[in-house]
């Protein structure tokens, strides 16, 4: 049996390692931290959540719920850890990030088939016939490894950006001005809501749009037409082991992921745009007035101690001093202490439609699989999901079998179907949504008018197809 190397101890890597090890394979898991860190990680822990602590919706028959249900059915190790370390977050699955990482570390340490190597991988050997490699080094893959990937994949390798929300010390929130509520009274009232009147909102928007931004650096620059830069340009310094953060500022346009736009960018699109986005007041009745406020910022609990909260959807690219000034205009946060400010970070991913098979193997080098954000999926849960698949596919390959791709009808299969079949010119990393699932046929759409009912049918089909696929799987290594 071939050995399996997993590169990256973030979200996809540990899930892949545990899946392959559980199937009976010998796995070596490489992680470069603490010797070398990324621009976003703050610990040396496995499965560090670098920004929000949310693994998204748990509302039944929503697309993120479906993805998680499939993963639970397939015995996802990281989802089990998430379920065991969940903190109250209304309809979402949010975790205590430290406990979550500790659980994942314990599972890895306890597994007899996993060896952990704490070193930076700088070379990929595509000709090693004895090893299956899963590359799960994430959106902040270190420079030498990204250069190696560029060598193997050619120039179809992109770089772009997304962002981090600020975190506030709970003890510094003015609780007389804010209130706990669940939107539309659905679920428990776990969010703290900071209500704005019209004047407060307008003053906030003026301050936000006038605040000073951090300038784009050469390493994150994109051409003025906003098209993603090819790796040869975006990583021009890779081979010199140069920290991209040290490059000098240039006047260039950043390409943001639409789902993660900085608030100052959203505010620039129109005075009311934030009121219809992350500051939406609908359904958040203020008990003091009995009405919805004009606008609202929601704060989500960060940990089980409830001593810190993140500002939901408030990622931004402002200078830290400016953030303190602007964010203290939020009612209730006038005297807030910020434990972390919003930030923008590099995000690296391959051009999956050109490069990957449906079993996450590089077409040109089938002994190398790509998982996690690097493969073109977007989000914590999606990264774990692709790690789960990659671990299982790698286990089959290690035993000389060709793995069967996850079914198209399932959420997991749809996600990989999207990244591997998307129009090559339009490719952008994706979260799981119903748009990616196999649509109902015309007659079904006509027969079922209610969107919720249609989603339920899609979910039922997905779970049935997924169950069937899992039944057909066996642990190839254990079976021999």
Ligand X SMILES: Cc1cc2nc3c(=O)[nH]c(=O)nc-3n(C[C@H](O)[C@H](O)[C@H](O)COP(=O)(O)OP(=O)(O)OC[C@H]3O[C@@H](n4cnc5c(N)ncnc54)[C@H](O)[C@@H]3O)c2cc1C
Task: For the CB of residue 191, give the shortest distance to ligand X in the complex, in Å.
Answer: 16
Between 125 and 209, name the residue whose CB sits nearer to ligand X: 125
The C-alpha angle with vertex 408 and arms to 407 and 411, in degrees rounded to 5, equals 90
By CB neighbour count within 10 A (0-12 exposed, 13-18 middle, 19+ buried), where does 120 fall?
Answer: middle
| Structural contact between residues 8 and 137, judged by C-beta atoms closer than 8 angstroms | yes
From 38, 62, 193, 420, residue interacting with ligand X (rule: CB under 6 A): 38
DSSP 22-59: HTT--EEEE--TTTS--SS--SS-TT---S--EEEE--
Applying CB under 6 A, which of residues 133, 266, 308, 347 lies at the interface with ligand X? 347
Burial of 240 by CB count in 10 Å (0-12 exposed, 13-18 middle, 19+ buried)?
exposed
Q: Does 121 bind ligand X (CB under 6 A)?
A: yes
Give the one residue of 4, 9, 178, 238 binding ligand X; rule: CB under 6 A. 9
Contact region with ligand X (CB under 6 A), list: 29-37, 232-240, 242-250, 275-283: 29-37
User: Whose Cβ is closer to ligand X: residue 247's or residue 286's?
Assistant: 247
Distance in Å, CB of 49 to ligand X, minimum: 7
Work out how close the CB of 256 gets to ligand X at its nearest, in angstroms, rounded to a whole number.
12
Please report how close the Cβ of residue 384 comes to ligand X at its closest, in angstroms. 8
Nearer to ligand X, 100 or 469 (CB): 100
* Helix (H/G/I), strand (E/B), else coil: 141: coil
* Cα(344)–Cα(2) distance, integer angstroms: 40
**Tell me, what DSSP letter sits at residue 143?**
H
261 binds ligand X (CB under 6 A): no
From candidates 140, 299, 409, 419, binder to ligand X by CB under 6 A: 140
CB of 277 to ligand X, least distance (A): 16
| 50 counts as binding ligand X under rule CB under 6 A | yes
Residues 142-201 that bind ligand X (CB under 6 A): 142, 145, 162, 164
Contact, 389 vs 360, CB < 8 A? yes
* Cβ nearer to ligand X, comparing 158 with 205: 158
Structure tokens at 212: 């000073």
Closest CA to 210 of 319, 313, 337: 319
Q: Indicate whether 40 belongs to the interface with ligand X (CB under 6 A).
A: yes
- Does residue 422 belong to the site contacting ligand X (CB under 6 A)? no
Of all residues in this chain, which one has the CB nearest to ligand X in the complex?
10
Tokens of 347: 């995000």
Does position 30 interact with ligand X (CB under 6 A)? The reply is yes
Q: How far is the CB of 197 from ligand X (least distance, A)?
A: 30
* Minimum distance, C-beta of residue 356 to ligand X, in the bound complex (Å): 14
Rounded to whole angstroms, the Cα distance separating 88 from 91 reads 9
215, two tokens = 């300038």
Q: Which of 372, 361, 479, 379 is nearest to 15 (CA)?
A: 372
Binding range to ligand X, per CB under 6 A, among 28-36, 104-112, 180-188, 440-448: 28-36
Tell me how far apart the alpha carbons of residues 75 and 148 are, in angstroms, rounded to a whole number.
33
Nearest to 410 by CA among 432, 395, 429: 432
Binding status of residue 234 toward ligand X by CB under 6 A:
no
278 scored as a contact of ligand X (CB under 6 A): no
Task: Considering only the C-alpha atoms of the chain, give the largest distance between any 2 of them, rounded to a whole number of Å.
Answer: 71
Give the x-and-dash track for 438-477 against ligand X (CB under 6 A): ----------------------------------------
Dist. CA 378–CA 432, nearest whole Å = 8
Selected binder of ligand X within 4, 17, 29, 33 (CB under 6 A): 33
Identify which of residues 241 and 453 has a Cβ nearer to ligand X in the complex.
241
Region binding ligand X by CB under 6 A among candidate stretches 1-9, 220-228, 351-359, 465-473: 1-9
Question: Is 244 an interacting residue with respect to ligand X (CB under 6 A)?
Answer: no
Q: Given the DSSP bridges, would you call strands 338-340 and 167-169 parallel, antiparallel or unpaired?
A: antiparallel
Number of residues this chain uses to bind ligand X (CB under 6 A): 37
Judged by CB under 6 A, does residue 97 bind ligand X? no
The answer to whether the CB of 369 falls within 8 A of the CB of 394 is yes
Find out whether the peptide bond into 34 is cis, omega within 30 degrees of 0: yes
**DSSP letters spanning 407-458:** PTTSHHHHHHHHHHHS-TTT---B---GGGSPPPPHHHHHH---HHHHHHHH
* Region binding ligand X by CB under 6 A among candidate stretches 378-386, 388-396, 458-466, 468-476: 378-386
Nearer to ligand X, 196 or 382 (CB): 382
Between 205 and 394, CB nearer to ligand X: 394
Interface ranges with ligand X (CB under 6 A): 7-13, 30-33, 38, 40-41, 50-52, 120-121, 136-142, 145, 162, 164, 345, 347, 372-374, 379-380, 383
């Amino acid at each position: 049996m071939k050995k399996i190397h997993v590169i990256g101890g973030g979200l996809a890597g540990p899930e892949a390692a545990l899946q392959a090890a559980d199937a009976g394979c010998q796995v070596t898991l490489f992680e470069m931290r603490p010797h070398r860190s990324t621009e976003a990680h703050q610990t040396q822990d496995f499965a560090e959540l670098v920004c929000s602590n949310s693994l998204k919706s748990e509302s039944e028959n929503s697309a993120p719920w479906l993805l998680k249900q499939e993963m639970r059915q397939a015995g996802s190790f990281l989802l089990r850890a998430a379920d065991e370390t969940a903190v109250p977050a209304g309809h979402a699955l949010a975790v205590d990030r430290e406990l979550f990482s500790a659980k994942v570390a314990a599972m890895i340490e306890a597994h007899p088939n996993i060896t952990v190597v704490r070193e930076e991988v700088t070379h990929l050997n595509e000709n090693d016939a004895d090893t299956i490699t899963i590359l799960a080094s994430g959106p902040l893959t270190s420079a030498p490894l990204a250069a190696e990937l560029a060598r193997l994949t050619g120039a179809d390798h992109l770089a772009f950006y997304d962002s981090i929300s600020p975190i506030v010390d709970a003890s510094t929130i003015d609780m007389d001005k804010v209130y706990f509520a669940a939107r539309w009274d659905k679920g428990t009232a776990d969010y703290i809501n900071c209500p704005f009147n019209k004047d407060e909102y307008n003053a906030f928007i003026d301050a936000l749009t006038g605040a000073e931004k951090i300038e784009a650096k050469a390493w994150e620059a994109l051409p003025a037409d906003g098209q993603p830069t090819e790796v040869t340009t975006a990583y021009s310094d890779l081979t010199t082991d140069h920290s991209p953060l040290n490059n000098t500022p240039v006047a260039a346009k950043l390409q943001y992921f639409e789902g993660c736009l900085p608030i100052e960018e959203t505010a620039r699109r129109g005075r009311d745009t934030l009121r219809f986005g992350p500051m939406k007041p609908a359904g958040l009745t203020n008990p003091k007035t009995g009405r919805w406020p004009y606008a609202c910022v929601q704060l989500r609990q960060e940990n089980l101690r409830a001593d810190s909260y993140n500002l939901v959807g408030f990622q931004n690219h402002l200078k830290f001093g400016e953030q303190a000034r602007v964010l203290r205009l939020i009612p209730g946060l006038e005297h807030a202490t910020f434990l972390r400010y919003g930030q923008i970070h590099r995000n690296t991913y391959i051009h999956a439609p050109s490069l990957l098979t449906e079993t996450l193997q590089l077409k040109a080098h089938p002994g190398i699989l790509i998982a996690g954000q690097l493969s073109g999926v977007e989000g914590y849960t999606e990264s774990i999901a692709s790690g789960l698949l990659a671990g299982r596919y790698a286990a089959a390959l290690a035993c000389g079998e060709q793995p069967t791709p996850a079914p198209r009808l399932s959420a997991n299969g749809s996600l990989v179907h999207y990244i591997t079949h998307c129009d090559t010119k339009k490719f952008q990393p994706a979260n799981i949504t119903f748009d990616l699932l196999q649509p109902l046929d015309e007659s079904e759409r006509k027969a079922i008018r209610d969107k919720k009912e249609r989603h339920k049918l899609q979910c039922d089909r997905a779970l049935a197809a997924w169950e069937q696929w899992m039944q057909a799987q066996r642990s190839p290594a254990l079976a021999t």
